[in-house]
Structure 1
Amino acid sequence: MAANTSLSSFTKLNDLVAIYRPANARPGAPDPGTPQLIVICSWLGAASKHITKYTDAYQQRYPYATLLLIRSTLASMIQRADIAPANEVLASFVRDKSDSRSKPPIVLHAFSNGGARNVASLIVDFRTTRTGSTFPFDALILDSCPGRADVSSVSRAITLSLPLSSWSRSAASWLIYLAVLLLMTITHLFKIEDTVSQLRRRLNDPDVVPTSVRRLYLYSKADEMVRWEDVSGHVEEARERGYERVQEVVFEGAAHCALMLKGGERYWGAVGGCISGKL
């Protein structure tokens, strides 16, 4: 029976970062195809009840893996997210991996632009704080991302992340739309790279994501938050940049960050294949 992996069983490291360590150690030698660490970077404003669908599924499939959760909030999007505790965890696993003959994989799983932004920041911060060391992860899973920065999608994502009633959210949406429009106008006029464009560039930068990393894109043609064409375009850009270990699985009729609900078997089959290298 799988262990209880509700978020109450996670140890909170700060407001954004929490960790789940399995109660029992893996018997025998580590399996080189089974991850020792899975980093889950949730989407902007994701509710705990939705996040647990993924943490529970991971625990059922990989009962001896440590789960590191990094949440994305509106505050963390406006200001630089404090994910330093996550880097301390990564450093400990990197030391363990370097000492292990089997070298079990480390997996990064990002949801939407908010989660992918935290993934990119995590990798860049690790290299900065570890004097140029590259974080040796093995698989990158991108769910419903990356998109592009346009006023409608960004303002909608912010609006839906707010814990408001339907009426309050509708009223706030106009103010948010105008604020995003103003911000994007300023970045365009002053030729400032917006955060989503920076994200897209970083994910296809070999200095950030090595070309040896297995990569899986999961996205839906029915996504109303992130256009599937933008994700597909990033897949092509990755291949053009020399990333050969890239796979994509396209869903029909699934909502943003809800692909698992439309095709759970297909979703987790692809994830498992990416982690093991058999996709």
Structure 2
Amino acid sequence: MPGPTFRAAGARSQSASAATLSPAKPTVDGQKGILLAVVTSKNNATHATGTGGWSLIGQVNSGASFTASLWIAAEAASAPTFTWTGAVACSAQIAYFSDPANSISTTVSASTSNTGSTSTHSTSSINTTKATATVVYVDVSAANTALATPSGWTEDNDTGSATDAGRTVFGEKQIATSGSASGAISVTGAAADWVQWQIEIGGVSVANALEVSKAEMVAWEEPAPGASFSMVEMLAWLDAPSEAAFSKVELVVWLDQVSVTPRRRQAQVIN
């Protein structure tokens, strides 16, 4: 079963000088999913939001004049407003990932980040903790230069602007087995301050609709004379989706034997 996949990205929001940004929320398709927002500012001020439902994954400084923060929320969360101290060149963008089979946790179990200022952008591999997980890479830089696509990964969105002289990239890799390595990334990008993350996202709840995957039905009729009844036994069980547990269900239905009144034959004596 595939894991969460990229669905859409909202328009990148940027400014040459601001201390607040409100990036557009992408259109969601009705499936359970999560939103990832990445915010940059060309200072080391702390980013914050008062919009409910948004949690900080982490904020990382790259040098003395570039910082980036990564945020996560459920798909139903409102579009956020991010703030910091000091009006500087800045950007913010939101990506939407969803899974048709499972809800996605807004808690990130595995992640890593790295920084640099040369054209080689890199992160080390992480090991997944969920079955059918997706590892997302997010890369932001302080120059408007496209990022190469890492081998074995899918680039979902690569957008920049001369307004803030910056670039924002989202990409992903689906991994079907818990404990698997995502693989290190080393690609060519902007020769300027940059931050790159790898984070794991994955399903944590049962499927949106339970489905009986296996069933067994046995029926028989007892051949005893003078009785009219049948017995039916039906066994059904649900396969447990990843990271969920179900006990097996047995349903047994039967009809009680029809009442039969015995009659004694009276002996006839002929003289």
- TM-score, structure 2 as length reference: 0.27
Q: Which of the two has greater strand per residue? A: 2
- TM-score, structure 1 as length reference: 0.26
The structure with more radius of gyration: 2
